[in-house]
Structure 1
């Protein structure tokens, strides 16, 4: 059952997702690996977790993956400041992942 809090987060997440889908991946990060992280893999993994969270409750594996990668991205974000577009792109993705975690938690309450 989806609660009012979860429904509000789902609506907000859907809006952020629609905005995110119009963005292109930052071209400067295809070859660059800030803090040793492949940003293409970070992007696809987190986007997949967000999409799964919008479809319903996450299983333990995806929940753990989402939380771990969100924390890792949070640590990487400051190193992207030299590329304004990449910083904006990944800040948007990070915001979505935080909201997806909150949505998943609200569904389990």
Structure 2
């Protein structure tokens, strides 16, 4: 079983690495710089998710950072439904998926 978990972990880390590279290639949504959606600064939301994802690629997160990452995913669930710009919705959906994958990596590390 540990070999299977290690394989799943490696697979998720590879996917997370690809997602962070894709994220860096995507232009930030026009009009979202300085914009708050559901009381969330959209630049900070993006930066926090990317920061957690890149840190997960390097090392396990502290318990405090894991909790913050989990809360961040919940924030995406609140803001995504109210984004009415097609590109921004795709962009932030990608960022949310990146954060969810980072949570999955952390969960696998605990097994």
TM-score normalised by structure 2 residue count: 0.91
Matched length: 108
Whose relative contact order is higher, 1 or 2, with alpha carbons under 8 Å and at least 6 apart? Answer: 1
Query: 1:101: Cα distance to partner?
Result: 0.2
Report the Cα distance in structure 1 between the residues aligned to 2:95 and 2:55, rounded to whole angstroms.
14
Conserved? CA contact 2:34–2:43, under 8 Å: no
Report the Cα distance in structure 2 between the residues aligned to 1:59 and 1:31, rounded to whole angstroms.
29
Query: 1:26: Cα distance to partner?
Result: 1.0
2:31 to 28, 31, 38: 28
Q: Which runs of 5+ in 2 are unaligned?
A: none
Q: CA RMSD in A?
A: 1.4
Query: 1:62: Cα distance to partner?
Result: 1.2
Q: Which runs of 5+ in 1 are unaligned?
A: none
State whether structure 2 residue 103 is matched by structure 1 residue 101: yes
